[in-house]
Structure 1
Amino acid sequence: MWSVALCTGILLIVCISHWVYSWRNPRCNGKLPPGSMGLPLLGETLQFFAPYTSSGIPPFISERMESDPSFFRYGPVFRTHLVGRPVIISTDPELNHFVFHQEGKSFQSCYPDTFTEIFGRQNVGSLHGFMYKYLKKMVLNLFGPESLKEKLLPQLEQMAQKNLHTWSSQPSIELKEGTATMIFDLTAKKLISYDPAKSSENLRLNFVAFIQGLISFPVNIPGTAYHKCLEGRKKAMKMLKNMLAERRALPERRHGDFFDYVVDELKKERTVLTEEIALDLMFVLLFASFETTSLALTLAIKFLTDHPLALEKLTEEHEAILSGRENKDSEITWKEYKSMTFTSQVINETVRLANIVPGIFRKALQDIQMKGYTIPAGWAVMVCPPAVHLNPATYEDPLTFNPWRWEGMEANGGSKNFMAFGGGMRFCVGTDFTKLQMAVFLHCLVTKYRWIAIKGGNIIRTPGLAFPNGFHIQLLEKN
């Protein structure tokens, strides 16, 4: 009896030891990058999501990216295990560039299962090939250059003027909340003709719950941020589904929004668009159009508050635009927008330091040999923008807000050293819309108002960017 129990115990220990060894030493037809797979099942997920307040490269990355294995440092390319899957993390510009430009060949967009659960199985980030190009073309009908120039530019200016005027009559405004609401109301109207004043449900509140758990440890238990995130998505999707059903029931009633375009596509005889894909697309567009831009705008104003010389230079540029007009109260023209050189530098510098997207994921479709290592087929590669944007070899004093560093530089697209909006064929289709929103808002702000910082403005990353105490300012009209 004892011998059977002993043999069983030994066998169990051997099996567990073999499993732990296999976990720590994954099979590979070549040489894996150095690194640690962390604890069985958990990997290094807890360390990855640990909050931090520094503005530098995330500690999880910086502690591993220098070449010193004795201190758990592995170099610019290393392996780990996050939220249920093996991952190669790259802080190497050459490898990042290669990964982005091999989309559909050696790599394809692929995010952790928790991400697809949050954004939907048919979200645009999870679709490939023809379907991705088809959706991209749909989105460009709304946010493409012609629409920006002819329709959205005057609407963005009216939106900024209206909200700034309202805020100036209040003792203070929390800037992140204020800009988020402002942008959401505009984009929700353009997308689905949503008017919060006429709706029985507050659509944006569901997105607030969603955002709070978007980049959080994925434990779906009531009370956790991740659970609240999923509940927020569920409620928002229910509202969108009801709206779509109403539109399809009364197709003759036109609203002049993106939903009309979607309904038309769904009616086509041989359409590739499904209701599930359409709803996931709407959800992603509503989220992406306001959350990232409001974070970037809040941070830009925080930087300008702390750097008066940059604010002075920005103000001079926009006052020069006013002085060059026959009528100072006329609307911003496309030519004036394109002349906002220093404004563009401020925006580039803000998004470089913001690093709103802490990681961009791709999946290897085959074994890839690169930098002396093998990336196994099926493994994820996480490109790390903060490590690129804060590299002192590329950007002098990388943690310093310095818009002048962009003088004479073009950064309209992605590059090896600038990937705030992604890169390759999946370069963000909303980039021009985001930059236009920021430029127009800054123009309206600095030409008519001044402001005083009251409280908040501190930043925390989890690893996404957040203002835990907001950024409260008092807005005052200029004499």
Structure 2
Amino acid sequence: MWIICELPVCWLFFSVSLSLVVFSVVVLITTWQKRSPGLSLPPGSMGWPWIGETHKFYSEDPNVFFATKQQRYGEIFKTHLLGYPCVMLANPEAARFVLSTQAQLFKPTYPKSKETIIGPSALFFHQGDYHSRLRKLVQGSLSPEAIRFLLPDINSRVISLLTSLEGRTVTTFHEMKNLSFDVGILAVFGRDLDDQCKEELTKYYCIAEKGYNSFPNRFPGTLYSKAVAARKKLEEIMRQLIQERRQGRMEKNLLSVLMSSQYNNGVTLSDDQIVDNVIGVLFAARDTTASAMTWIIKYLYANKKLLESIKEEHASVCRLGEGSDCWLSWEQTRKLKLTHRVIMESLRMASIISFTFREAVADVEYKGYLIPKGWKVLPLFRNIHHSAEFFPEPKKFNESRFRESPSPGTFLPFGSGVHACPGNELAKMEMIILMHHLVTKYRWEILESSSDIEYGPFPIPKGGLPAQFFRQSSKEDEQLKEIA
């Protein structure tokens, strides 16, 4: 009896709510038409009121979702995702317009829940003077000179990881995450970080990361509430580190650069700003690089001829007598032309960053269309990378396409403009060092050959690429065995 009485009330509430949503949409459309006469919105569909097409976006492969839209509506189209009206841009010229030539008309935008986990002062939530200053600091601490200094440590960490994998069945993506986080910790805190502090940072970072992309529900016990609590622990650890390093000698690394930075008038960054930016760099450094390295391992395994060519290239740069124990020097990494091309093609094929979010800060006209103020704008990197117009046979792995530089704006694995990834050189060096020690010392077997892709949120092979890694005997080892 209670249920029968309750249903009309629920239906009435739903009807009123739906009417309000429809009324709001009508008012918004009318407002757009009034303030921008003669301009129309890009073609496309907005889906259901309020929820838009979010359900479709998550129920389909995102690549199929965007490709289908582009095929139907063209390279500029509208939709409604994650609670926001959006304009999608799937060509290099439009991406350059948003990210470079007219970047002042579009601000970076992230959900409030993500800003809470990382910290509101992180550089990629900002633009203008503050962003420019922070970007220079981060980019400077990850410059080629800084990377050259870290090269022996990166070699050591790669060797240590690969040694731990010998003979085991592992989830490749998980192991690559461990490696990229280890290198990120090195770049941020330097060599002086003690093991206990590193373990605590790793523990709380992993909890925060699990809740970062979860539904932002602060109810106790949820992934998001645990992430918020873990973030507070990270802040406590970092504040303690800052205090300790102020009292002692500071090795040059990102943390010391942020701590010693001053404006022209002598104003320094606050501890809050330092903590937020350190956490931001750690988040930016881990999953994207780990995903790229996982795909490289998969692509090399699938192309045995290419793998043999890579082995020959790495053997050729090692000095006589070093054998398979060769640690790459800075000069040697510059000679690995094929390796660089394989990395570029892997980044194009995988398109780790499929798109980026911007928000129009004013009404913007582009190609005769209106992009209303407040709308989200998404340059679709994956669509550009997989366009046959710019990359013939885009679904085929072909590293030779990068013998020549790609056309401007067609290859954007690290973004573009003032918000491009400042750590891209470190990420690429990590990939080079991994490839070197992997192909010269190991063989591996992928246990699932499926072409399926998972998103979490970055694309990875199904199951994180389960694999087994085996140490190969060097020629020197074989000769010693023969003598014995």
TM-score, length basis structure 1: 0.84
Contact 2:255 2:274 in 1 (8 A): no
Structure 1 segment 4-19 matched on structure 2, within 5 A: 17-19=22-24
Residue type of the partner of 1:358? S
Q: Which amino acid aligns with 1:37?
A: M
Query: Out of 455, 458, 463, which is 1:464 matched to?
Result: 458
AA aligned opposite 2:442: Y
SS at match of 2:443: strand
Deviation (angstroms), 1:16: 5.8
Matched, 1:375 2:371: yes
Which has the larger helix fraction? 2
Corresponding residue for residue 189 of structure 2:
192
8 A Cα contact 2:171 2:463, kept in partner:
no
Q: Deviations over 1:244-290 (max 9, x none)?
A: 34445xx2353554323333237997325222221111001112222
Distance 2:123 2:78 in 1: 27
Question: Residue 132 of structure 1 aligns with which residue?
Answer: 131
What is the aligned counterpart of 1:38 among 44, 47, 62? 47
Letter in 2 for 1:75: G
The C-alpha deviation readout for 1:319-357, integer Å capped at 9, x for no partner, is 1212x5465455423222111111111101111122222
Q: Which residue of 1 aligns with 2:69?
A: 64
Q: 1:31/1:316 Cα in 2 relative to 1: closer, same or farther (>3 Å)?
A: same
Distance 2:198 2:411 in 1: 43
Contact 2:295/2:461, CA 8 A, preserved across alignment: no
Q: Is 2:299 aligned against 1:303?
A: yes
Rounded Cα–Cα distance in structure 2 between residues aligned with 1:84 and 1:108: 18
CA offset at residue 217 of structure 1? Answer: 4.9
- State how 1:415-426 maps to structure 2 within 5 Å: 415-426=408-419
In 2, the alpha carbon distance for the partners of 1:77 and 1:304 equals 35
Look up the SS of the partner of 2:410 in the other structure: coil
Q: What is the match of residue 208 of structure 2?
A: 210
Q: Which runs of 5+ in 1 are unaligned?
A: 1-9, 68-73
Output the amino acid matched with 2:51: L
Q: What is the alpha-carbon root mean square deviation over aligned residues? A: 3.1
Equivalent residue number for residue 101 of structure 1 = 100
Amino acid paired to 2:81: L
Displacement of 1:318 in angstroms is: 0.9
Alignment of 1:286-325 (within 5 A): 286-322=282-318, 325=320
Cα separation, 1, equivalents of 2:131 and 2:17: 48
Matches of 1:156 and 1:220 in 2, distance apart?
38
Counterpart pick for 1:177 among 174, 179, 188: 174
Residue 63 of structure 1: CA displacement? 2.7
Give the SS at the match of 2:396: coil
- Rounded to whole Å, the distance in 1 between the matches of 2:227 and 2:373 is 31
Specify the alignment match of 2:446 in structure 1. Answer: 453
Q: Indicate which of 418, 421, 432 corresponds to 1:428.
A: 421
Pairs aligned (count):
453
User: Could you tell me how far apart the structure 2 residues matched to 1:203 and 1:456 are?
Assistant: 35
Cα 1:462–1:75 shift into 2, 3 Å: farther
Q: Is the 8 A contact 1:345 1:403 kept in 2?
A: yes
Secondary structure at the aligned position of 1:198 is classed as helix
Cα distance, 1:102 vs structure 2:
2.9
Q: Is the 8 A contact 1:46 1:217 kept in 2?
A: no
Structure 2: segments with no counterpart, 5+ residues = 1-14, 475-484
Question: Deviation of residue 296 (structure 1)?
Answer: 0.7
| SS of the residue 2:79 aligns to | strand
User: Deviation per CA, 1:39-69, whole angstroms, max 9, x where unpaired?
Assistant: 33333333333464xxxx62321232223xx
- Does the Cα contact within 8 Å between 1:89 and 1:381 map onto a contact in 2? yes
SS at match of 1:360: coil
1:120 aligns with 2:149: no
Q: Per-residue deviation at 1:459?
A: 2.9
Instruction: Label 1:94 to 1:200 Cα distance change in 2 as closer, same or farther (>3 A).
Output: closer
CA shift for structure 1 position 218? 4.8
Cross-structure match for 2:88: 89
SS of the equivalent of 1:101 reads: helix
* Candidates 159, 165, 175, aligned match of 2:163: 165
Of stretches 32-41 and 384-393 in structure 1, the one that deviates more from structure 2 is: 32-41
Q: Quick check: 2:47–2:53 contact (8 Å CA) kept in 1?
A: yes
- Verify the 8 A CA contact 2:21 2:49 in the aligned structure 1: no
Instruction: State the Cα distance separating 1:103 from its structure 2 match.
Output: 5.2
Is the contact between residue 360 and residue 373 of structure 2 (CA under 8 Å) also seen in structure 1? yes
User: How far 1:184 moved relative to its partner?
Assistant: 1.7
Question: In the alignment, is the contact (CA less than 8 A) between 1:49 and 1:462 conserved in 2?
Answer: no
Deviating more after overlay: 119-128 vs 329-338? 329-338
CA distance in 1, matches of 2:220, 2:388: 43
2:336 pairs with 1:340: yes
> In structure 1, what is the equivalent of residue 12 of structure 2?
none
Q: Which of these residues, 238, 241, 248, is aligned with residue 240 of structure 1?
A: 238
**TM-score relative to the length of structure 2:** 0.83
Give distance in 1, aligned partners of 2:396 and 2:206.
Answer: 31
